[in-house]
């Protein structure tokens, strides 16, 4: 069978690829049962190996997994690239502990850092590496976070409104829901959740919290359901999915951190090195697309007869648009369904470095 990967719209179109891309906010999916390995299969694993392995073939090549999670992608790459070394980065200490156990057979080739992915340069410095030969970012909420109901990411189970990826931070979803002014709530739900009924939801929250603080995921999910018009509730999945997505992104500052991550990671990517980004909703994917496109374009003025050396592209795109999982993978791994994969190779250092 031929390659069934799909691509997104032409690169000139910055609209969301489709509304369902937000469905990777898997907060409505029940936590996995013990032994439910299907939910822990790394998304687009084989394609990521295909894209990143060529940069990891030399002895001592360095892979940075900026969103380590359960370590599935890193395990596959360490197995496929026996000369590679790993710097595994995650803001979630639980994820670091679990991935360290999983990657124990490769202990002599691994270094772990408790950090956010915009701190990749610091993680490299601590590991004693000047550059990375490959960088992987698998964005969004991870399997450990989804599968522990008490973390508060899931609206299908009653739990405290938490949603912190790093449980050492102070800001929680409960504080946002109960303490943000209504105008700020509308901003969060509309901008990060892409919720078109953000004002209705925010005002419903305001009325409820005037009576008592909203403290549980189930209470919030039911409140949102009641605030969404009945006709809309009949389609598009759980009515609370966009609200929960918006709150999660705000709690963890995901988009502002991602904005800082691209220049930080690319500043330490070696010439010939490769970067791959898996995103799960349109906001992340648009940011990735724009960051790559800006560095993959020759900026020589149009009236000059030849390209200027210092205006040549710094990146070469390895994917044509955003690649999607195959239908077979979607059937096998529900968490892959809204994934979008983009990858690029560094071909030139900027002249200022």
Q: Is 145 annotated as a binding residue?
A: yes
Token representation of residue 139: 């964005």
Q: Measured between alpha carbons, how far is 323 from 278 in angstroms, rounded to an integer? A: 9
- Strands 85-90 and 62-65: what pairing? parallel
Paired with 316 in beta bridges are: 345
Contact 106, 247 (CB under 8 A): no
Q: Is 72 annotated as a binding residue?
A: yes
Q: Is 169 annotated as a binding residue?
A: no
- Which H helix or E strand runs over 132? strand 132-138
Q: Measured between alpha carbons, how far is 186 from 197 in angstroms, rounded to an integer? A: 9
Whole-angstrom CA distances from 89 to 12, 100, 119, 259, 291 are 33, 11, 9, 17, 21
Q: Measured between alpha carbons, how far is 253 from 257 in angstroms, rounded to an integer? A: 6
Residue of 108, 42, 105 lying closest to 76 (CA atoms): 42
Q: Is 106 annotated as a binding residue?
A: no
Q: Is 73 annotated as a binding residue?
A: yes
Q: Is 90 annotated as a binding residue?
A: yes
Paired with 64 in beta bridges are: 87, 135
Residue of 339, 349, 350, 344 lying closest to 25 (CA atoms): 339
Q: Measured between alpha carbons, how far is 64 from 40 in angstroms, rounded to an integer? A: 20
**What is the side-by-side order of every strand in the sheet holding 62-65?**
110-114, 85-90, 62-65, 132-138, 269-279, 340-346, 315-317
Contacts of 11 (CB under 8 A, 6+ apart): 289, 293, 321
Residue of 138, 142, 192, 188 lying closest to 165 (CA atoms): 142
Residue of 220, 239, 217, 230 lying closest to 161 (CA atoms): 217
Q: Is 19 annotated as a binding residue?
A: no
Q: Look at the block and give the residue holding tokens 């999910």.
A: 221
Q: List, as residue ranges, the binding site for S-adenosyl-L-methionine.
A: 71-73, 90, 117, 138, 145
Q: List, as residue ranges, the binding site.
A: 71-73, 90, 117, 138, 145
């Amino acid at each position: 069978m031929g390659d069934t990967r799909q691509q997104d719209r032409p690169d000139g179109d910055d609209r969301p690829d489709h509304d369902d891309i937000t469905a990777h906010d898997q907060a409505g999916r029940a936590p996995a049962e013990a032994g439910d390995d299907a939910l822990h299969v790394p998304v687009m694993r084989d394609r990521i190996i295909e894209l990143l392995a060529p940069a990891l073939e030399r002895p001592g090549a360095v892979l940075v997994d900026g969103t380590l999670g359960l370590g599935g992608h890193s395990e596959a790459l360490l197995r496929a690239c026996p000369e590679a070394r790993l710097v595994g980065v995650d803001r979630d200490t639980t994820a670091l502990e679990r991935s360290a156990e999983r990657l124990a057979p490769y202990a002599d080739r691994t270094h772990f850092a408790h950090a956010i992915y915009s701190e990749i340069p610091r993680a490299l410095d601590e590991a004693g590496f000047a550059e990375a030969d490959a960088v992987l970012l698998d964005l969004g909420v991870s399997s450990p976070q989804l599968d522990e109901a008490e973390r508060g990411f899931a609206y299908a189970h009653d739990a405290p409104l938490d949603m912190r990826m790093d449980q050492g931070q102070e800001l929680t979803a409960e504080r946002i829901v109960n303490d943000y002014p209504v105008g700020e709530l509308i901003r969060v739900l509309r901008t990060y959740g892409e919720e078109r009924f953000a004002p209705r939801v925010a005002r419903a929250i305001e009325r409820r919290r005037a009576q008592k603080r909203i403290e549980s995921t189930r209470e919030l999910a039911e409140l949102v359901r009641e605030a969404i018009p009945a006709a809309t509730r009949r389609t598009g999945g759980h009515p609370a999915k966009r609200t929960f997505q918006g709150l999660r992104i705000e709690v963890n500052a995901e988009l502002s951190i991602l904005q800082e991550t691209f220049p930080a990671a690319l500043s330490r990517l070696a010439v010939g090195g490769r970067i791959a980004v898996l995103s799960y909703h349109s906001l992340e994917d648009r940011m990735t697309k724009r960051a790559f496109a800006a560095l993959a374009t020759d900026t020589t003025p149009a009236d000059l007869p030849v390209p200027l050396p210092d205006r040549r592209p710094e990146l070469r795109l390895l994917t044509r648009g955003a690649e999607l999982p195959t239908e077979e993978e979607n059937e096998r791994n529900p968490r892959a369904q809204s994934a979008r994969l983009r990858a690029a190779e560094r071909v030139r250092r900027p002249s200022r470095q």
